[in-house]
Amino acid sequence: MQEALSALISYIQGTLKQKLDDRVVVSVNGLGYDVFLPQFVMRGLENRIEGEPIEFDIYYHVTERQLRPTLIGFNNGFEKRFFEKFISVEDIGPQKAARALVLSVSAIAQAIESDDISVLRTLPGIGDRTARKMVATLRGKVTEEALLQDAGYATVPGAAPPSPTSVLEDDGIDILVNLGHRRSEAATKVRAALQRNPDVVSPEDLIREVYKGERPHGE
């Protein structure tokens, strides 16, 4: 039942009716929807005013014990998919996860991939034990999110993209572009990763290699 209900609302587009501390009210065809927002999403609305068009990817949460549905909003599908991975960690439910996400997705994903428990412990409601569970559960699974350009998601005009020399290279470039990188920048990162490790055979392994190249030396 829960799986069926979770697919009822996956996206919402309407007008910003009201901003509150932890949520917004979105007006859609005469109905007002409470959409709870993690703090990193809420910060992006600081300059938005009531009456403006607004849209969110939605994680829809309802259980047999909690029949009143909760809508949790995100800027895009990458953030939503990270949230879905985040709540796969033992003892982290949707509401606890939403309260914990005060840092950007990329910052949290980088901390997980770098085994940086000190950063993870700064998240509200996340202690040392849960932080270590996060690393144990998600390390190696959030490398794409660690490369996410949180400041913007549109492809920025720039130099013409170099022609990819392989399907794998092309796939890696496309992934980084979807994460918000310039295509020319993505091509440079992918080719550097392939030079460091020419034995990678999948887009997932290639993105992990790109991420390794982004980490400071010595980590």
Return the SS3 of 67: coil
Q: How many CB atoms lie within 10 A of CB 196?
A: 12
Residue 156 burial (CB count, 10 A)? 13
Closest CA to 175 of 205, 214, 213: 205
φ/ψ of residue 11, rounded to 5:
-160, 145
Instruction: Of 11-20, 97-106, 139-148, 173-182, give the lowest mean pLDDT range.
Output: 173-182
In this prediction, residue 142 has a pLDDT band, given cuts at 50, 70 and 90, of very high
36-64 pLDDT, tens digit per residue, is: 999 889 888 988 899 999 999 999 987 66
Query: Six-digit token pair at 122?
Result: 């700064």
* Structural domains for the chain: 2-74 (2.40.50.140), 77-146 (1.10.150.20), 167-214 (1.10.8)
In this prediction, residue 165 carries a pLDDT of 45
Which position has the token pair 């009143």?
Answer: 68
Where is pLDDT greater, at 164 or 21?
21
Specify the DSSP element, H or E, that contains 107: helix 105-113
For the record, the structure tokens of 215 come out as 């980490």
Rounded to the nearest 10°, the torsion over CA 171, 172, 174, 178 is 130
- Position 4 scores a pLDDT of 43
DSSP strand pairing (70-74 vs 23-28): unpaired
pTM, two decimal places:
0.67
111-119, long-range: CB < 8 A, 24+ apart? 112/138, 112/139, 112/142, 112/146, 113/139, 113/140, 113/142, 113/143, 113/146, 113/211, 114/215, 114/219, 115/139
- Per residue in 6-15, pLDDT tens? 457 899 999 9
- Does residue 170 or residue 106 have the better pLDDT? 106
